[in-house]
Structure 1
Amino acid sequence: MRLLVVCLGNICRSPLAEGLLRHHLEQAGLGHRVELDSAGTSGWHIGNPPDPRTVRNALGHGLDLRGLRARQLRAADYHHFDWLLCADASNLADVRARAPADATARSALLLEWAGLGQGAEIPDPYTGGPEAFEHVFGLVDAAARRIVARLADRPQPVDA
């Protein structure tokens, strides 16, 4: 299975989700079953590491995101990945609006796909303080754990 996590700038929510998913998949012995990446709908931060506040918060939980670099969503992603998992409804709308006519990837809200509630979104912590980054960590960690449990229960690709 190939999963791409998408947010606006690829410096807060999506790299955190990529890192947490990778961490929990490896801990569960499922790292070999899932290809992960993250991207942003905007190109503002291409090549930059995650936001220092995201890095600091993640390091406080034992997760190192410093090796990740932001990139922008590209047309090839719609063919390479099975799922484009979006942080919020605005990202999801952008992802769907940009989809090529022959796209094979499906798109959904990350929290909803993880089973954490219909229409559930990950708020953008960018303009918030440390508490906003901690709140996002909790949401994304819960989603990553649910996704790993879901994948562990299903040897076949997840449909929805």
Structure 2
Amino acid sequence: MVQVLFVCLGNICRSPMAEAVLRQKIKDKGLSEQLVVDSAGTGDWHIGKPPHEGTRGILDNQGISYSGMKARQLHPDDFQQFTYIVCMDRSNESNVMNWEGASSKTSTVIRFMSLLPEESVEDVPDPYHTGNFDEVYRLVSSGCSKLLERIVQEQHLLTTM
């Protein structure tokens, strides 16, 4: 079982959006039995809260479920549990690499925007501060497609669709 963890700061905007989008793409490709997706934040102030209303609005408009999603904080066990840890920006990536448990990681850590080298930004902008959930969704949707292609190729997964 391949497991993917998206990480942002508070786990209410970017990482849950990416989690929901990738789950939908996995379902559409018939890979639900082979891939599991989750998200977490490096901060602890939103633990237990649902995704931000802006994230929920975009996902509702796209017909993508976020049912049952609640913010959680990154845990040292995540470094052994997840195959891929995908960080939404450079600050998250730095925090993840310095997190307790990171030194014994078996996960591959990826900065999300490295999946989209054609884009002019290095980080997925935080819509909690910018309010631009449409732009974040555009990047997340495109990047999740590239990430899924990479995972299918690297893990030799067979799609049924």
Alignment deviations for residues 21-78 of structure 1 (CA, whole Å, 9 cap, x no partner):
0000110111222111100000010000000111011111111324210000001101
Q: Which residue of 2 aligns with 1:8?
A: 9
Cα-to-partner distance string for 1:60-103 (whole Å, 9 max, x where unaligned): 11113242100000011011111110000000000001142322
Q: How much has 1:18 moved relative to structure 2?
A: 0.4
1:50–1:66 CA contact under 8 A, matched in 2: no
Report how far residue 108 of structure 1 moved. Answer: 1.6
Q: Secondary structure at the match of 2:7?
A: strand
1:125 to 107, 124, 127: 127
Paired with 2:96 and 2:12, the residues of 1 have a C-alpha distance of 17
Letter in 1 for 2:111: L
State the Cα distance separating 1:148 from its structure 2 match.
Answer: 2.3
What TM-score results when the alignment is normalised by the length of structure 1? 0.88
Q: What residue in structure 2 maps to residue 23 of structure 1?
A: 24
Rounded Cα–Cα distance in structure 1 between residues aligned with 2:106 and 2:149: 25
Find out whether 1:93 has 2:101 as its counterpart. Answer: no
Query: C-alpha separation between the residues in 2 aligned to 1:50 and 1:140?
Result: 15
Shift of 1:155: 4.4
In the alignment, structure 2 segments of 5+ residues that lack a partner are: none
* Structure-to-structure mapping, 1:63-78, within 5 angstroms: 63-78=64-79
Runs of at least 4 residues off by over 6 Å: none
Counterpart for residue 108 of structure 1: 110
TM-score by length of 2: 0.87
Corresponding pairs, count: 153
Separation (CA, whole Å) in 1 of partners of 2:138 and 2:9: 19
| Percentage of pairs with the same residue | 35
Judged with a 3 Å threshold, the aligned counterparts in structure 2 of structure 1 residues 97 and 151 are, in CA distance, closer, same or farther, namely closer
Q: Which residue of 1 aligns with 2:156?
A: 156
Residues 55 and 66 of structure 1 are in contact (CA less than 8 Å); yes or no, is this contact kept in structure 2? Answer: no
Moved more, 94-103 or 37-46: 94-103
Letter in 2 for 1:85: V
Matched letter for residue 108 of structure 1:
I
1:4, distance to aligned residue in structure 2 (A): 0.5
| 1:62 is the counterpart of 2:77 | no
C-alpha distance 154-93 of structure 1, shift in aligned 2 (>3 A): closer
Kindly indicate whether the alpha-carbon contact (under 8 Å) linking 1:78 and 1:99 is maintained by their aligned counterparts in 2: no
Contact 1:5 1:87 in 2 (8 A): yes
